Amino acid sequence: MMRSASPLLIGLSAVMVAIQDDTPLVLVTRRGSEDALPFGPFHPDKHRTFDLSLRGWVREQTGFELGYVEQLYTFGDRDREMPEATLAGAPAHARVISVGYLALTPEARPAEAGFEARWQNWYRYFPWEDHRNGRPAIIDSQIVPRLFTWAAGKEMRLERAKIAFGLDGARWAEERVLDRYELLYEAGLVAECARDANLAEPDVTLGEAMASDHRRILATAISRLRGKIKYRPVVFELMPDKFTLSALQRTVEAILGLGLHTQNFRRALDKTGLVKGTGAMETGTGGRPAELYRFCREQAISTGAPGLSTPRRSAD
């Protein structure tokens, strides 16, 4: 007798990013005891497009209106919905496909009263990813010894660990956020792995867990954004209308989790023609006044302008 096919449901999740006080923030809600991304089902009979459905769910759950949005990835692994990503009213044996989106906003406006949504520093979920003040101690004190134990006698595992975390002379690749998280999950070193497999909690806390596979979705979004700012000028979707070049550099550094060489960054930026001085000066900062710039959006659109060069400081 043929087994009946599992019902297929489509969910939409949003990674909404803003930068505030040089901190990369992501908008989260609560699902039980864990942070979660805004997430809701797509109903073909009610929603004309995925985009309109997503915007509606985010508005309903957080009170925010999405601006810049791009489709991120489709997450469809079997059992990815276990144990907490199931949609309300869905059959217990339903297969949930999640379409993730990346949304950028220039302002981390507080959520209105009545909504549980709040902005969180994305490095609370990935503390090993922020290298702006040097290599995080958690890598060599907590992560590397456990990865080496897990990889003992297995050359392929060991090589993956070295490449992912910049060991034995390998260069830290900031865009490998997803690779690093999935390696830690496979090694049983993040709480989601223990939760999903009904295993004992790991003996170390490596970042804060998120509901379902939402930390994986967030890692995918960070990887995408870190890569994309280098070939498309999307970073300006995170900037106000007027900004200093120092503020722009700090925003790029916050996203990459790396310190940049200021002179080389500005020299490369000047060649792109992406920004133009306004003649106005920033005041009230207590320091030396700096000129305010604006993004030349029209030129970027007409010329298909590239992203920004990200020259690291020599120590990085």
What CATH fold (topology level) applies to the domain 235-303? Arc Repressor Mutant, subunit A (1.10.10)
In angstroms, rounded to a whole number, what is the distance separating the alpha carbons of residues 118 and 113? 11
pLDDT of residue 74: 86
Rounded (10°) angle between helices 144-151 and 155-165: 160
* CATH superfamily ID and name for 8-121: Nucleoside Triphosphate Pyrophosphohydrolase (3.90.79.10)
- Whole-angstrom distance, CA of residue 96 vs CA of residue 270: 47
Q: Give the whole-angstrom CA distance, residue 297 versus residue 186.
A: 42
Domain with CATH 1.10.10.10 in the chain: 235-303
Q: Which tokens in the block code for residue 199?
A: 């295993």
Confidence (pLDDT) at 80 = 45
**Residue 74, phi then psi, degrees to nearest 5:** -110, 125
pLDDT lower than 70: segments of the chain = 1-6, 77-94, 284-286, 315-316
Locate CATH 3.90.79.10 in the chain.
8-121
> What φ, ψ does residue 18 adopt, rounded to 5°?
-145, 160
Bridge-based pairing of strands 291-295 and 275-281 is antiparallel
Residue 114: what are its φ and ψ, rounded to 5°? 100, -10
Q: What is the pLDDT of residue 177?
A: 98
Residue matched to tokens 């390998």: 170
How far apart CA 135 and CA 144 sit, in angstroms, is 13
